[in-house]
Amino acid sequence: MTRLLLASASPARRATLIAAGIHPVVAVSGVDEEATLAAARERFGTLEPADAVLVLAQAKAQDVAENLPDELADADDLVVVGCDSMLEIDGQILGKPTDADDAVARWHAMRGRVGVLHTGHWVMDERETSADAPAPGRLGAGHGAVLGATSSTVVHFADLSDAEIAAYVATGEPLAVAGAFTIDGLGGPFVERIEGDHHGVVGISLPLLRSLLAEIDVAIPDLWTR
C-alpha cells in the first residue's frame, strides 16, 4: 500500500485530499522561501511566477524527504508531495501578506481585478523497489522518480467596499494564505468566478496530482482510505 506524505502545513490542502478520499501523512518543511527563491534567481535568472512556485514546491518536498520525522524514518511506502501557491497580479508575485496592513493594501489593489493563482506541485517517489511490473510507459516503485508541474487558474475578484476589506482582514484569514484570499472559506463570496481548476486555487490541484502520480504508476484509488 502506498501512503501520500504531504509536505505542507496547509489545512486547506489536507482537507482537499481528505474530501477526495486520501488521508495524507503530514510533515512540514523548514525551507526558507526567500533564500530558496534568491538562490534560484542567482542560478537561473528571473523566475516566472509559475516557475517560482515550482521551485518552492520542490524545495519543500526535498526537505521533508531528507528529514523525515522519527516515526517515518523506516517507512518504505511513501510518495512525498510538496506544494506552494502564489498570486500573480499586474506582473507581481504575491505570497502571504506580511501583516494586516499589507493584506488591506493588497485587497485595495485586487478588488475588481483579475489575477492568476499559481500552485506548484512536486512529487518524489520514496517507495522501496517493487517486484511488480509497472504499467507501460510508467515508472514503478523504487525508481526514485521526481517530477513536478504547476496549476494556474485565472481568478476574478469582486469589487469589495472598504468596509468589506476591513472586515475580512480583521478575521485573520487573509494573513495565512497566498494572495490574501481563500475560495473555500470566508473569502469565497469575494471571488466572482474562476477560469481553471478550483482545487488549484484551494492549494492542491487534484487533476494535476492524478496525472503526476500516474507517471509513477500510482492511481488515485490506490490512495483511498479503506
pLDDT in tens, 184-218: 999 999 999 999 999 999 999 999 999 999 999 99
Give residue for cell 475588481.
112
- Enclosing H/E stretch for 221: helix 220-223
CA dihedral 217, 128, 18, 25 (to 10 degrees): -160
Is residue 134 over pLDDT 60?
no
- Is the dihedral angle over the CA atoms 217, 219, 220, 223 positive or is it negative? negative
CB-based contact 26:46 (threshold 8 Å): no
Which residues are known catalytic residues?
A: 84
pLDDT of amino acid 92: 85
CB-based contact 183:199 (threshold 8 Å): no
CB-based contact 118:85 (threshold 8 Å): yes
Angstrom distance (rounded) from CA 86 to CA 151: 11
CA distances from 183 to 73, 164, 169, 191, 194 (A): 36, 16, 15, 7, 10
Domains and CATH numbers, the chain: 3-223 (3.90.950.10)
CB-based contact 208:20 (threshold 8 Å): no
* Type of residue numbered 93: I
Beta-bridged to residue 123, according to DSSP, are 81, 147
Q: Residues 88-97: pLDDT tens digits? A: 998 888 888 9
pLDDT band at 66 (very low <50, low <70, confident <90, very high): very high
What's the DSSP call for residue 24?
A: -
pTM of this prediction exceeds 0.85? yes
Lowest average pLDDT, out of 47-56, 85-94, 135-144, 173-182, goes to 135-144
Is residue 140 over pLDDT 80?
no
Cell of 142: 523504487
Residues 6+ apart with CB under 8 A from 154: 114, 115, 116, 194, 195, 196
Nearest one of 79, 101, 82 to 30, comparing CA atoms: 82
Opening angle at CA 153, ends 21 and 30, nearest 5: 65
